[in-house]
Structure 1
């Protein structure tokens, strides 16, 4: 029998008021505002949006077709880097992000090039006119671009046919000062070589890695791009071609709608700048790279999911090129398998999902259009503040930029500590029995970048160091009260919470008496215990159990759940800490480490980083 969707009871016949009516019943008198959340920029995200009919789809990428699949190359040895390049290109990459040793984004790794011959060795067997090359050599990027031109000349390749971008942003180099002289010299070299190189990039990575929000990243990239336009005034380039010499880089993270909206907002903001400057409207050259700060060292397989969401959002948002950091990037130098997965993430989106075949997939989406407009407004406001302060260099020097980012980072850190912003595989659903992943060499963090998972990973490191030194994992006894039905939910939740700090919990069990439980605690060898059950059971038994566990030698007692009106009584009986959703889990775990006498967590983290 065929199903009909045209009747009055049809899902498709329901209007917005009917939806809200059902919501009001579910809220049971609570305000509708309870369903509205906030972004890191304080922008409201409503629970429901209507489709937008006042917008139309447009071409986001200047050149229709697939976006460029970029692969990061950062091996020091030129022969090994060349082999990596050939494997990546054979495997489907269409662009290379060359990261030179010593740059801010190198993260303790990078290519060592100092001559045209080095480029010849690096590009042996490569046809540079068939791919895009992005060069990041930090403050030496303009010099390295000159070496690249020398290499092209030696190989008798026409620079006009080679797509090259200097991906380093000189405006993020503290102490660099005025770079207009270097820009003028580089522009002259490009003209002399006949190259159409984009030698100026406004890069959002450094701000994102420091803790910037989406609107802050947009504003700072825009401010840097405007500074580039001003520096181009000193060159002999035709003003109508200035925009062709600038590239914009944004970060794509696991906030799917936010990343899509950020990419679309960047194009709108850039168009506004060009209009205000009286320059021709040219589509922004937008490159996106997946977020470093969202990556984890613990359970790095989850990074595959994060990268998939991020690259999907970058493609939907209209990026011209996307670089996916391999899932093991935070662990160390990724091996061939990890790099293959990074390439294939994009290959599946392009070849199997055909994302690049749709002109503007997000057009008309009420949620994404609203988020885009909100980001544009918030970013433009901060951009104007930066300009009023004298531009990006002045705003950086007077502390405006650092202050805004520090405020955002502090809020993020608070949300992470309370698991309001959970890190799957680390602060939520950690796997204490995970196996190590394969990398070419361990990570050495030297770039000052920040990752969400770091504070929890430091605790895990300390717990592992303790187990390796003593042969026993730090553990907490679960004092489960009542029946399985009464304590299982909270026992599972609390075990997950303690595991985020590398602390194992004993298996919850049904005990026949308080004395039996106290004896089990003694036999466990644990120094800490956590009482686990329902609120009703707590009222009847928690005080007696707390006294018995204290008498049995427990150094500190936890209780899973909020105490309500019984807090004073429970504390008097010996309960020291209450663990509940929304509490500062990170601080609680640090205190538990202290109670157990574990090694300094920062020292353990530092030791692992040097391993």
Structure 2
């Protein structure tokens, strides 16, 4: 089709060499390397890529058409949860993620179901054969799947017509809970038994899940997440082989879950990469090719408790990238999940984020839109190589369970987490609304009551599951399903204790949100205000004219606000005496000099000495000291604040000084001891 665009011939004839020539002129002698960057995995990102028209579109989504819109259901009361899920299903959702007691993804919120009556209440007026259902209850997943299949039997529904996925990954559970190897083997044996039993019912349930969210939340990079998901999937293949399942069925019983975050290109590349990697595994194992069943969930790690409205933007990018990357199903976590149990409004926004992408943007109508993009093809290929190398290292260690026991996985994630934490602390990984542009006057968002009290009130009498047939050949799960049909309670939804033993020698993975360290400082600021009657604050000792101090004063106010510390000032001071009077009137005990370097050269030392004499407990200077560091320090300036400094550590120190002064009036020297 001819282009209707009219422009100079040079627009169509420019080549890479001409582009670089223009770049060199713009750089004015600076090296070209300045334009290159790298990902968390150290993969190079170039400033320009050539098109790859010879690269065909990858076969991504296993089914033609839209991806499934999965809504998270985690309200404790089954009746209330039912009302919410019916609203979701009637308003655009095509799948449900049932978060039940024991799920690693529960974040303290789970549906209080223990028996068939509870499952009936939860799924009242729901037609399971018309939707996708994901069930995650940690090691209690078989019990809840037994309740689910019992429900289908009671309703006389053919299990083969219901799309059920188990969201439990025993290897992630092992990593987070330091499960003793003996108990871990019991868990995997039960999962094998589950697969054999559901096969006999005719169900196509994908009972084994390779879940990337565990590794992602612990700090893993995209390549690491891919490698560990791949290693978990291969471990599942071995479990299915041990169970005696026919090889051609193995891949059909496994699902995969990856995390989508606000890195648009990284998420797209990750989603495309897992399919290529899985294809390589199946080929190497001599198994028939089978498309990966890929579910993606937006990142909990990226969510913020403070200014949670920004989470809507993060979720939108993540959901968009999941769709472009070819996910079969996507779950958008409500933007208030880090605050508490999301209400109906937050859940509606999560649902509508996907509806807009599907119904208004028609995002699913094109197969692999990233195909042929030089940048995306390069990113995907490099990610595949990095993930495959780590996957081979895990396999060389004996597979994922052995790699976990040896601490190999934890070592890789620990190094990545340390690097991530450092970038967050130095704002090299800025968090809008938290470490950047915080809103100290934000109002709280509405969340639902936890519902923990309702769960605590449920104390069912549980059967002795050890009396069931030993797991391994399908009889254990069949007996469990029979108990469910009798109305027996299979789990105690009020229990928060894991029944599995822990191995004290096992290095545990700990997950969390990257915004938490800064949010803890905001909480400390609120506690300080509650105790003293005034918020923590620092005096901005502005020197010179507004044109000279405003840029750094604005930047400094934003930096201290990231820790919940308010500023007094800046203002124009006609003399040093006027500056000191303003400092004393502010009531602040900390002060920060703000101006340009030329003014610092002439006035910083005298102003610092005067402020210390006037009672400033600690002095900061906004900017790098350069060659004058020793002189400034001699004048009483203790800390220098600049882009790239350890802002988190600086703010923690500032809070410690404020608290020490309030508690006992210690001097600067006493605080430093």
> Smaller-chain TM-score range?
over 0.9
Q: What does the per-residue CA deviation read over 1:413-450, in whole Å, with 9 as the maximum and x for residues that have no partner?
A: 00100000001100000000000000003699999531
Whole-Å separation in 2 of the counterparts to 1:442 and 1:126: 24
Deviation at 1:362, TM superposition (A): 0.4
Distance in 2 (alpha carbons) for counterparts of 1:171 and 1:522: 59
TM-superposed deviation, 1:474 = 0.7
The match for 1:323 among 317, 328, 331 is 331
Return closer, same or farther for 1:371/1:4 CA change in 2, 3 Å cut-off. closer
Corresponding residue for 2:8? 7
Aligned counterpart for 1:482 among listed residues 522, 544, 562: 544
CA displacement 1:232-263 (0-9 Å, x = unmatched): 11335332122111100000000000000000
Structure 2 residue 563 is matched with structure 1 residue 495: no
For 1:45 and 1:212, how far apart are their aligned partners in 2? 19
CA distance in 2, matches of 1:234, 1:94: 35
* Partner of residue 441 from structure 2, selected from 433, 448, 467: 433
**CA offsets 1:282-303 (integer angstroms, 9 cap, x no match):** 1100000000000000000000
Q: Which runs of 4+ in 1 moved over 6 A?
A: 442-447
Q: Give the stretch that moved more between structures: 238-247 or 121-130.
A: 238-247
Instruction: State the match for 1:378 in structure 2.
Output: 386
Matched, 1:29 2:20: no
1:121-200 equivalence runs, <5 A: 121-174=121-174, 175=179, 176-178=183-185, 179-200=187-208
* SS of alignment partner, residue 105 of structure 1: helix
Q: Is the 8 A contact 1:95 1:131 kept in 2?
A: yes
- Point out the more displaced range, 591-600 or 530-539: 591-600
Q: Identify if the C-alpha distance between structure 1 residues 216 and 517 changes in structure 2 by more than 3 Å, giving closer, same or farther.
A: same
Would you say 1:543 and 2:605 are equivalent positions?
yes
Equivalent of 1:463 in 511, 522, 525? 525
Aligned length: 597
Task: Kindly indicate whether the alpha-carbon contact (under 8 Å) linking 2:109 and 2:450 is maintained by their aligned counterparts in 1.
Answer: no
Shift of 1:483: 1.1
Q: What residue in structure 2 maps to residue 560 of structure 1?
A: 622
**C-alpha deviation, 1:540, in angstroms:** 1.3
Task: Name the CA shift for 1:134/1:598 in 2 (closer, same or farther; >3 Å).
Answer: farther
1:228 aligns with 2:240: no
Judge which range, 506-515 or 220-229, deviates more. 506-515
Counterparts of residues 522-533 of structure 1 (less than 5 Å): 522-533=584-595
Shift of 1:7: 2.0
Q: Match of 1:577?
A: 639
More displaced 10-residue stretch of structure 1: 529-538 or 173-182: 173-182
Specify the alignment match of 1:608 in structure 2: none
Taking the aligned partners of 1:123 and 1:538, their CA distance within structure 2 comes to 68
Deviation per residue, 1:388-421 (Å, 9 max, x gap)? 0000000000000001100000000001000000
Deviations along 1:535-554, one digit per CA (max 9) or x if unpaired, are: 11111111111111112111
Q: Counterpart of 1:336? A: 344
1:62 deviates by 1.2
Q: Distance in 2 between matches of 1:482 and 1:537?
A: 7
Q: Return the offset for 1:90.
A: 1.2
1:597 aligns with 2:652: no
User: For residue 90 of structure 1, what is the aligned residue in structure 2?
Assistant: 90
CA distance in 1, matches of 2:328, 2:72: 16
For residues 553 and 13 of structure 1, what CA distance do their matches in structure 2 show?
68
- The 1:357–1:4 alpha-carbon spacing in structure 2 relative to 1, beyond 3 Å, is closer
Q: Which residue of 2 aligns with 1:303?
A: 311
* CA distance in structure 2 between the partners assigned to 1:493 and 1:77 by the alignment: 47
CA contact (8 A) 2:75 2:451 kept: no
The answer for unaligned runs of 5 or more in structure 1 is: 601-611
Aligned equivalent of 1:71: 71
Residue 272 (structure 2) aligns with: 264
Partner of 2:218: 210
Closer, same or farther: CA 460–243 of 1 in aligned 2, 3 Å = same
Bigger drift between 439-448 and 214-223 goes to 439-448
Q: For the residues of structure 2 that align with 1:334 and 1:448, how far apart are their CA atoms?
A: 24
SS at match of 2:243: coil
- State how far apart, in whole Å, the 2-side matches of 1:180 and 1:298 are: 39
Distance in 1 separating the partners of 2:10 and 2:274: 43
Shift in Å at residue 4 of structure 1?
A: 6.9
Aligned in 2, Cα 1:564/1:61: closer, same or farther, shift over 3 Å?
same
Q: Distance in 1 between matches of 2:435 and 2:93?
A: 34
3-state DSSP class of the match of 2:25?
helix
Aligned match of 2:575: 513
How far did 1:572 drift? 1.4
SS of equivalent residue, structure 2 residue 106: coil
8 Å Cα contact 2:272-2:380 kept in structure 1 = yes
* Cα distance in structure 2, aligned partners of 1:251 and 1:27: 37
Contact 1:466 1:598 in 2 (8 A): no
1:604 corresponding residue in structure 2? none
Ranked by relative contact order (alpha carbons within 8 Å, sequence separation 6 or more), the top structure is 2
Task: Report the Cα offset of residue 15 of structure 1.
Answer: 2.2
Measured against aligned partners, the alpha-carbon deviations of 1:288-347 in whole angstroms (never above 9, x if no partner) come to 000000000000000000000000000000000000000000000000000000000000
Q: Is the 8 A contact 1:142 1:199 kept in 2?
A: no
SS at match of 1:51: coil
The alignment's C-alpha RMSD in Å is 1.8
Following the alignment from structure 1 to structure 2, what is the Cα–Cα distance between the partners of residues 90 and 163? 18
- Per the alignment, residue 351 of structure 1 pairs with 359
Offset, 1:32: 1.3
Cα contact 1:183–1:235 (8 A) shared by 2: no
Q: Is the 8 A contact 1:332 1:443 kept in 2?
A: no
The answer on whether the counterparts of 1:180 and 1:234 sit within 8 Å (CA) in structure 2 is: no
Give the aligned partner of residue 59 of structure 2: 59
Q: Which stretch shows the higher mean deviation, 503-512 or 436-445? A: 436-445
User: For residues 13 and 6 of structure 1, do their structure 2 counterparts lie closer, same or farther at Cα, with a shift above 3 Å needed?
Assistant: farther
Pair 1:256–1:599, CA change in 2 (3 A): farther
d(CA) in 1 for partners of 2:103, 2:637 = 51
Task: Tell whether the 8 Å contact from 1:146 to 1:189 is kept in structure 2 after alignment.
Answer: no
Task: Answer with 275-284 or 238-247: which moved more.
Answer: 238-247
* Residue 185 of structure 1: how far off its partner (Å): 1.6
* Conserved 8 A contact 2:56-2:371: yes
In terms of mean alpha carbon deviation, does 469-478 or 214-223 score higher?
469-478
